[in-house]
Structure 1
């Protein structure tokens, strides 16, 4: 299910929460929408998922306009949309199976079909034997698995995940993201992930749009965005991501030798992460690189390396070093000191 947004706008008084966003979300993919708190991402997902009407603009599902559907058709369309939330939104009065059954009950499905579907979904999310478990007895990860199963109950063609891992610890987050990716492939879903965590984008998404102040400031393949961020907000996200030494993935830590900020950020992509590029340039030009931080992350199926450095020498020598780096396909960003 491809989703196309055309000049969407939504205001609350003088606040322009969504301010003219146009975006194409490809079908059968995991698409991330990332922004800081207050950027407009939650309002945007409410518009895309038809929970709110835009003040202006249009929403299309597979070339069919859906933001202006009459109420009966809107209700039917919403039933083919799954949603997962940060705080699970489960009924504490119902056990795991009864929570999963709820959306099927309100559509009038017969009890035997509901039972069979619940068992199928429990197996899908690895909760076999937990059907009678009270919600209060489940861990955060298990609760989110119940929520995922419930979101899939009516066989949606679009799945929205609104900060679905924000309340979980890092290890559980990795397992939930892996589950969502597995489900997306099995069911050929279009998954839209709303998040403020760049780790989620890195580990789960194929493409991403970065929003701030109600506008899209950057979009593209996740590997491209990580290797060559264009907007300041994206660079800031990446700086905070790679600076986290508590990463669950030991080989993806950003190792810092100095707390001082370097003059340049270098980004290496693919095979260049394994090449002695700095040593070669240092030998050829007689310059020295003071490496303040460095690390390699796996983004999709590609490795993206990052170094924060200073370069010795006068302005002319430094420029020669920068030109040499770029000739080796290293992306160079000059940092504001």
Structure 2
């Protein structure tokens, strides 16, 4: 199911929460929408999932406009959209299988059909034998697995994940993302992940849109965005991810030799991560690189290297070194410049 957004607008008083967003989200993929708190992510997902109507603009599923449907048609369309939330939103008065059964009960499905589907879904999310478990006895990861099963109960063609891993520890987050990737392939779903965690985008998404102040500031393949970010917002996300400040988790930190931030950030992609590029430039040009920090991370099937450096030498030598880096396929960012 392809999703197309055309100039979406949504305001609350003087706040333009979504301000002219246009996107094309391909079918049968995992698409990320990332932004900081207040960027407009939650409002945008409510518009795309038809929980709210836009003040302006249009929403299409495949080639069919869906934001202006009649009341009953809107209800029917929403039933084919699955939602997973940060805080699970499970009924504590119901056990695991009763939570999963709830959407099917609303649609009037027969009890035997519901039972068969619940058993199928418990198996899919690796919770076999836990159907009778009270929600209070489940771990955070198990609760999210129940929520995923419930979201899939009515065979949706689109699955929205609104900060679905924000309440989970890193190990559980990895397991849930792996599960979602597996489910996406099995069911050929269009999955839209709304998040403020760049590691979620890195580990799960194929394409991403970066949101800031209600607008899309950057979009494209995740590998391209990581290797060649164009907006300050994206660069800041990547700086947090690879550990250029204290908020980065240990597993995402680069090896850091100095607390001072270098003047240049170098980004290497694919084969360039294995080549002695700096050594060659030092020998050929005579410039010196002072490496402040460096590391490599896997983005999909591509290795993306990041290095923070200072460059010593006169201005002419620096210019020659920067040009040599670019010719070698290295993206060069100077501190404070786009």
If the length of structure 2 is used for normalisation, what is the TM-score? 0.98
Q: 1:189 maps to which residue?
A: 189
C-alpha displacement at 1:287, in angstroms?
1.1
Pairing 1:218-229 to 2, within 5 Å after superposition: 218-229=218-229
Partner of 1:2: 2
Structure 1 unaligned residues grouped into runs of 5+: none
Q: Contact conserved, 1:281 with 1:324, CA < 8 A, in 2?
A: yes
1:322 aligns with 2:322: yes
For residues 118-141 of structure 1, what are the alpha-carbon distances to aligned partners after superposition, in whole Å with 9 as ceiling and x for unaligned? 000000000001000000000000
| Contact 1:5–1:57 under 8 Å retained in 2 | yes
Matching residue of 2:163? 163
Task: Give how far 1:245 is off.
Answer: 6.0
The residue that corresponds to 1:246 in the other structure is: 249
Matched residue of 2:60: which SS? strand
Provide Cα deviations, 1:163-220, integer angstroms capped at 9, x if missing partner.
0000000000000000000000000000000000000000000000001000000000
Deviation at 1:247, TM superposition (A): 3.9
Determine the structure 2 residue equivalent to 1:63.
Answer: 63
Deviation >6 Å, runs of 4+: none
The residue that corresponds to 1:295 in the other structure is 295
Structure 1 position 253, deviation (Å): 3.7
Structure 1 counterpart SS, 2:51: coil
Instruction: Show the counterpart of 1:126.
Output: 126
| Counterpart contact for 2:19–2:214, Cα < 8 Å | yes
Work out whether residues 241 and 253 of structure 2, in 8 Å CA contact, stay in contact via their aligned partners in 1: no
Q: CA deviation at 1:336?
A: 2.6
Q: Equivalent residues in 2 for 1:1-337 (5 A)?
A: 1-243=1-243, 246-248=249-251, 253-336=253-336
Is the contact between residue 245 and residue 255 of structure 1 (CA under 8 Å) also seen in structure 2? Answer: no
Distance 2:249 2:329 in 1: 30
CA distance in 1, matches of 2:45, 2:249: 30
How far 1:34 moved relative to its partner? 0.3
Q: Write the deviation string for residues 229-279 of structure 1: whole angstroms up to 9, x where unpaired.
A: 00000000000000066344xxx6411111101010000000000000000
Distance (whole Å) between structure 2 residues aligned to residue 193 and residue 255 of structure 1: 30
1:36-91 deviations in Å (ceiling 9; x for gaps)? 00000100000000000000000000000000000000000000000000000000
Whole-angstrom CA distance in 2 between matches of 1:145 and 1:247: 26
Task: After TM superposition, give the deviation of residue 16 of structure 1 in Å.
Answer: 0.2
2:32 and 2:57 map into 1 onto residues whose CA distance is 21
| CA–CA distance in structure 2, aligned partners of residues 323 and 178 of structure 1 | 40
For 1:115 and 1:122, locate their aligned partners in 2 and report how far apart those are by CA, in whole Å: 11
- Give the unaligned 5+ runs of structure 2: none
Give the root-mean-square deviation of aligned CA atoms: 0.9
Number of residues paired by the alignment?
334
What SS is found at the alignment partner of 1:317? helix
